[in-house]
Amino acid sequence: MKIANIPGVRGRRTRYQFIGESLAGCWVVALLGFSGYILHFNSAPVGFLFLLVVVTEAILCGFWQATIVSILACACLDYFFYPPYLTLNIGDPQDWVALGAFEISALVVSRVSSREQRSTHEAALQRTAMEQLYELSRSTLLINLHQPPGPQLTQLIRRIFELEGVAIFDANSGQCDRAGDWSETQFDLAKECFFLHSDDEDLAARTSQRLLRVGTNTVGAIVIRGDLSPLVTDALASLAAIALDRCVSFEKESRIEAAHQSERLRAAVLDSLAHAVKTPLTAIQTASSGLREVGSLNDPQVSLVSLIEEESSQLNLLCTRLLQTAKLEANQMSLGKDEIAIADLVSKVIREQSSRMAGHPIELAVADPGLTIEGDIELLSMALVQFLDNAAKYSYPGMEVKVAAWESHAEVLMSVHNFGPTIPIKDRDRIFQRFYRSDGSKDMAAGTGIGLSTVKMAAEAHQGHAWVISDAQEGTTFFLSLPQNGRRPQ
């Protein structure tokens, strides 16, 4: 322990310093007084010299030391320079006037000196605090973003501001990190500050608690033990909050980038696979057609050939969807600008899908037979095929599927309605993501999670959008909306 930090030693040192400063001033006054007497000076120049000593003592040491020197100066003036000489006549009015002049000068000068010293000290503290805050702001830019920020920040703050202890609670990770000496009762102060959501000052324990805020969001809390002004503490907390938020943003961006890279790799593999499968599929379809042409096939053989053709067609359709999805994602697909009659489009898709509806009757409702739209007929056909395929897979047995199309506010709306398992609210946006399948229905039928993502991208390519509503009483309805003139209405 440093000697200066021991209260008794510090008190004795202050008393010895006071006595020494007072004796030094008194010695100078006594020397000037004796010298002036020997040299036969009168009271005027000696009094002025005494005033200079008093003023100097007030500036350098303080008012009470200057008061002691003033009393001795008045005594020397009376003893050496006022008749009767070499005799103390304390009741002489000249002594009181001199003492009053000395005291007033000491008081005024000491006050001015104290104010200036205090201002200088505060300016020095502010300059030091600004330098420390600047160093902290610069150092936080150099922290390792791949490591947890809490341990790094606590060490930085404690080193730069020379604090006894620093604790930071990171709300993102739920981790409380500490640097310095903390008792067991103080381990969770930062966490408590965050959950109580309030700043606090404990003068007895010399601790300051601050919430770490970025805008309206609270990202953590900090507890500091040491001698810092509230203004510096607030600025320090703001810098720590910015550093924490920066680390959180970097972590999120890293996760997003990793997810994007993983998605791009998976898509590239599947697209390459789709291209590779296309060639043997073509050969299989050609061979199955050749078997039919050969003739002399019995019924089981005809059934097997039909199964080969049907399944190879399904595989071919899946490959086509994968390739179209890849082109849509990469913006490499040029959209057709065909004039499409909605009634013809829907009727054609229903005819093609009727054999794959698994016994579900289809009801068609087109409000306006003359309704048309401009777009890519292949993409829109694929979107409707996917809606019908979903309805066939996930409808309850024997339930009707309803296909409708109508005009609404310069848009063309197409819908496919069926009764089946309800799609949870949390999944209604996610089922349009690539490879995602809802937990409630993925065990009902086989699937890849690609079809609806293709529908969404096809809709967005036409400046439209796709969505679903699902209710236990009303059933599930998939919607596709497209602007009539190729642009979404304002």
Q: Does the pLDDT at position 295 exceed 80?
A: no
The angle that helices 43-60 and 7-38 make with each other, rounded to 10 degrees, is 160
Number of neighbours of residue 64 by Cβ within 10 angstroms: 15
Question: Which tens digits make up the pLDDT trace of 453-478?
Answer: 888 888 888 889 899 999 888 899 99
> How far apart, in whole angstroms, are the C-alpha atoms of residue 156 and residue 299?
83
Question: Which tens digits make up the pLDDT trace of 391-444?
Answer: 888 888 888 999 999 988 888 999 999 998 888 888 888 888 877 777 656 556
**Mean pLDDT in residue range 153-169:** 90
Burial of 51 by CB count in 10 Å (0-12 exposed, 13-18 middle, 19+ buried)?
Answer: middle
Confidence of residue 268 (pLDDT cuts 50, 70, 90): low
Confidence of residue 147 (pLDDT cuts 50, 70, 90): confident
Please check whether residue 234 is in contact with residue 135, taking contact to mean a CB–CB distance below 8 angstroms: no
**Mean pLDDT in residue range 263-273:** 62
Comparing 144-255 with 338-483, is the CATH topology the same? no
So what's the architecture of 144-255 in CATH? 2-Layer Sandwich (3.30)
Return the CATH number of 338-483, one of 3.30.360.10, 3.30.565.10, 3.30.460.10, 3.40.50.720.
3.30.565.10
Which residue type, as a one-letter code, is found at position 304?
Answer: L
Residues present in the chain in total: 490
According to the 3-state scheme, what is the secondary structure of 12-33?
HHHHHHHHHHHHHHHHHHHHHH
**Mean pLDDT in residue range 220-225:** 91
Domain ranges of the chain: 3-131, 144-255, 261-329, 338-483
The pLDDT, as a whole number, for residue 416 is: 93
* Chain-centroid distance, C-alpha 188: 23
Element spanning 357, H or E:
none
Q: In the chain, pLDDT over 90 holds for what percent of residues?
A: 9
Q: Enter the DSSP assignment of 376.
A: -
Q: What are phi and psi of 15, to 5 degrees?
A: -65, -45
The three-state secondary structure class of 152 is helix
**Mean pLDDT in residue range 37-55:** 80
Confidence of residue 222 (pLDDT cuts 50, 70, 90): very high
Q: Does the pLDDT at position 135 exceed 60?
A: yes
Average pLDDT, the chain: 80
Question: How would you label 402-412 residue by residue, b for 16+ Cβ within 10 Å and e otherwise?
Answer: bbbbeeeeebb
The pLDDT, as a whole number, for residue 274 is: 62
> How far apart, in whole angstroms, are the C-alpha atoms of residue 460 and residue 316?
24
Question: Which tens digits make up the pLDDT trace of 59-106?
Answer: 888 778 888 888 887 878 777 777 777 777 766 676 677 767 777 777
Q: Which of 197, 158, 152 is nearest to 175 (CA)?
A: 152
The three-state secondary structure class of 71 is helix
> How far apart, in whole angstroms, are the C-alpha atoms of residue 372 and residue 405?
11
Confidence of residue 1 (pLDDT cuts 50, 70, 90): very low
Lowest mean pLDDT among 13-27, 107-121, 135-149, 165-179: 107-121
Q: Which of 156, 158, 123, 162 is nearest to 137 (CA)?
A: 156
Q: Does the pLDDT at position 132 exceed 80?
A: yes
Q: Does the pLDDT at position 3 exceed 60?
A: no
What pTM value is reported for the model?
0.48
